[in-house]
């Protein structure tokens, strides 16, 4: 009798303290994230003690040794390369998702789904390396340009990298479109293509937008592959093949040798803060779109 | 519900304790690192960080030194020249490794310079290029963007692609000082973030030129003569080949104890005459000036 009671007490205590442990972990995690944001924000904003915001955001002369801290070319580089990768990757990904959700026979889908998941497991340095030894020489010879490094090379590799995100989220969104909608469309005499294009895809739109924004967040934060392919030239690109820089690539190339606490080091933190804010903005956007989901 | 309320309080207490424990943990380890500098006997921990170019040299130094003094523990990390100088100035490491001379911002931080090795640099170009020699004036014209086609410097009609290091790189600072002498690099260049990456990119890009630490120049690229002088350790020692810099180890104040012993070991003839040359550097002991 006594032992049972004892065991029961132990179980209760276990129950109670493990719960505290979970709560503590959750708090700890939140604290870490906010500390990171706080630290990057504090360090980044210290840039403005020596550099005017107008110079940082609206000029593109990046020469820290000569006290020029114009980061415009990096910001434009990040945005343009992200946008280009979406333009290349989103239609492909959406088409793939439609195929997998609505057209492919079951066995094809069962091969393709794990295959797309496999994309995610490929480290970005591998993508970058493949881009460096295959894509860059190919672009150089195919288009007869100087080097092949630049926006297009980075955007193509990024497009491949964001495909799994787009495919898997779009597919889920398309699958969760209620069957009756589709059946009604077919019953009204719409062809398969008309049904897909005018009924299924619009109904899945919130999910598709979520996929695209998540993919953008992934693309803008990608560092290694971009750094290996974009050329890292601190100049605004004038063509698809002119080497330029992105925020991430410039941070990774310069941080190792940049004095911490100097205006130069701080301006790299400010770039990190800009990236963080862009990503946060995207996440907020997803929450708003997600709330409007019909399916 | 009552339980949950109580649990909130407790949980925050747990979280705070965790936090305090972490902070305390960090603090004590910092202290430990500082304390070990003091003893005069050769024992303790020496931490060094900084230049990645010096890493391949300091790794064997660390191994050999620890064989001689088994009570000394040496940690060597990379991070870049400025990281090394910063951390040495802050006291978070005992030795800051650097490829560059102390910049003006650091002059008042009490860092003591130890020149431990000579790092030679070479200009390399894509293998297909028929150019074998560039004068210093030609190199300056190319690197500043004044000359953009190989035909202007005795080569074929082909565009020049500069592939080199970022503005924060110690190698780039050395070239700026020894070759460009105040002229500015053009921004029209591909930037790679390491010696190896520069070499790989040059090897695969027709008409490309750049510079690397001499040990990195291998069969995949063409090493260019500079002002008619082919790079060799002898050419540097005799003063004919001018593109090199000292590898520095900075300490905060004069080195003492195990730190001093380690630096002394790196500068000793037995190390300089064996591992330094094997790693592709040149012993400081051989430099007359």
Q: What is the pLDDT of residues B176-196, one digit of tens each?
A: 988 998 888 998 899 888 888
* Chain B contact residues (CB < 8 Å to A): 3, 7-8, 10-12, 14-15, 18-19, 52, 78-83, 85-86, 105, 159, 161, 166-170, 184, 187-193, 197, 200-201, 204-208
Q: What is the 3-state secondary structure (H, E, C) of B30-77?
A: HHHHHHCCCCCCCCEEEEEEECCCCHHHHHHHHHHHHHHCCCEEEEEE
Q: pLDDT band for position B12 (50/70/90)?
A: low
Residue of A257, A259, A263, A268 to mutate when probing chain B, most B C-beta within 10 A: A257
Average pLDDT over residues A149-158: 93
Q: What is the pLDDT of residues A209-221, one digit of tens each?
A: 999 999 999 999 9
Partner-chain contact B168 A136, CB within 8 Å: no
Q: How many whole angstroms separate alpha carbon A65 and alpha carbon B218?
A: 32
Whole-angstrom Cα Rg for chain B: 24
pTM beyond cutoff 0.95 = no
Instruction: Judge contact between A268 and A251, C-beta under 8 A.
Output: yes
Classified as helix, coil or strand, A65 is helix
- Tell whether the model's pLDDT for residue A230 goes beyond 80: yes
Lowest mean pLDDT among A279-283, B20-24, B143-147: B20-24
Partner-chain contact B105 A258, CB within 8 Å: no
Lowest mean pLDDT among A34-38, A281-285, B76-80, B115-119: B76-80
pLDDT score, position A119: 83
Kindly state the helix (H) or strand (E) to which residue B133 belongs, with its residue range.
Answer: strand B133-134
Measured from the Cβ of residue A247, the count of other Cβ atoms closer than 10 Å reads 26
Partner-chain contact B7 A19, CB within 8 Å: yes
Residues above pLDDT 70, as percent of chain B: 85
pLDDT score, position A5: 80
Residues above pLDDT 90, as percent of chain B: 29
| Residues 6 or more apart in contact with residue B115 via CB below 8 angstroms | B246, B247, B248, B284
Q: How many whole angstroms separate alpha carbon B26 and alpha carbon A215?
A: 37
ipTM associated with this complex: 0.72
Instruction: Judge contact between B125 and B160, C-beta under 8 A.
Output: no
Q: What is the pLDDT of residues A238-280, one digit of tens each?
A: 888 888 999 999 998 888 777 777 888 899 999 999 999 999 9
* Vertex A138 angle, CA B142 and B145, to 5°: 10
Which among B220, B206, B227 is positioned nearest to B156, based on CA atoms?
A: B206
10 Å CB burial of residue B174 (0-12, 13-18, 19+) is buried
Q: Which of A5-9, A90-94, B58-62, B99-103 has the highest mean pLDDT?
A: A90-94
* Vertex B245 angle, CA B244 and B249, to 5°: 150
Q: What is the pLDDT of residues A26-57, one digit of tens each?
A: 999 999 999 999 999 999 999 999 899 999 99
pLDDT score, position B166: 85
pLDDT score, position A292: 65
Q: What is the pLDDT of residues A104-132, one digit of tens each?
A: 899 999 998 888 888 888 899 999 999 98
């Amino acid at each position: 009798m006594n032992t049972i009671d004892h065991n029961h007490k132990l179980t209760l205590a276990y129950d109670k303290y493990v719960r505290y442990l979970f709560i503590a972990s959750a708090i700890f995690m939140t604290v870490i994230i906010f500390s990171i944001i706080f630290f990057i924000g504090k360090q980044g904003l210290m840039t403005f003690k020596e550099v005017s915001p107008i110079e940082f955001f609206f000029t593109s002369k990046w020469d820290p040794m000569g006290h020029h801290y114009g980061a415009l070319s990096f910001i434009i580089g990040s945005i343009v390369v992200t946008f280009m990768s979406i333009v290349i990757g989103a239609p492909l990904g959406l088409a793939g998702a439609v195929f997998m959700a609505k057209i492919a026979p079951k066995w094809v889908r069962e091969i393709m789904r794990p295959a797309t998941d496999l994309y995610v497991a490929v480290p970005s340095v591998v993508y970058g390396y493949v881009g460096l030894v295959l894509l860059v020489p190919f672009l150089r010879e195919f288009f007869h340009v100087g080097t092949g490094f630049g926006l297009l090379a980075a955007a193509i590799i990024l497009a491949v990298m964001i495909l799994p995100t787009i495919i898997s989220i779009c597919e889920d969104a398309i699958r969760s479109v209620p069957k009756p909608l589709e059946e009604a469309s077919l019953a009204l005499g719409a062809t398969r293509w008309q049904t897909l294009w005018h009924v299924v895809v619009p109904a899945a739109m919130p999910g598709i937008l979520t996929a695209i924004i998540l993919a953008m967040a992934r693309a803008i934060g990608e560092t290694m592959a971009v750094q290996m392919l974009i050329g890292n030239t601190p100049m605004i690109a004038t063509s698809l093949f002119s080497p330029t820089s992105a925020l991430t690539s410039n941070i990774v190339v310069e941080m190792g040798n940049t004095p911490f606490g100097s205006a130069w080091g701080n301006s790299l933190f400010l770039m990190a803060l800009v990236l963080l804010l862009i990503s946060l903005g995207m996440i907020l956007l997803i929450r708003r779109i997600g709330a409007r989901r019909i399916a | 519900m009552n339980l949950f309320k109580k649990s909130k309080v407790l949980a925050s207490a747990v979280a705070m304790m965790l936090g305090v424990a972490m902070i305390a943990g960090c603090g004590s380890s910092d202290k430990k690192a500082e304390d070990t500098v003091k003893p005069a006997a050769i024992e303790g921990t020496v931490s060094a960080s900084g230049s990645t170019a010096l890493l391949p040299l300091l790794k064997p130094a660390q191994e050999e030194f620890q064989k001689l003094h088994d009570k000394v523990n040496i940690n060597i990390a990379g991070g870049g020249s400025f990281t090394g100088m910063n951390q040495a100035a802050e006291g978070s490491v005992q030795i800051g490794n650097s490829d560059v001379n102390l910049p003006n911002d650091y002059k008042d931080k009490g860092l003591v310079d130890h020149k431990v090795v000579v790092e030679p640099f070479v200009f390399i170009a894509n293998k297909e290029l028929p150019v074998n020699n560039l004068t210093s004036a030609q190199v300056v014209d190319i690197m500043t963007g004044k000359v953009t086609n190989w035909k202007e410097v005795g080569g074929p009609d082909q565009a020049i692609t500069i592939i080199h290091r970022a503005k924060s790189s110690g190698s780039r600072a050395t070239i700026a000082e020894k070759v460009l002498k105040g002229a500015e690099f053009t921004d029209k260049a591909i930037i790679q973030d390491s010696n190896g990456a520069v070499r790989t990119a040059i090897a695969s890009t027709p008409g490309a030129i750049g510079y690397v630490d001499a040990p990195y120049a291998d069969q995949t690229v063409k090493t260019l003569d500079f002002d008619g002088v082919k790079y060799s350790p002898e050419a540097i020692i005799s003063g004919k080949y001018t593109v090199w810099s000292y590898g520095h180890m900075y300490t905060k104040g004069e080195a003492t104890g195990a730190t001093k012993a380690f630096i002394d070991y790196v500068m000793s003839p037995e190390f300089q005459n064996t591992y330094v040359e094997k790693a592709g550097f040149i012993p400081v002991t051989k430099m007359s000036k």
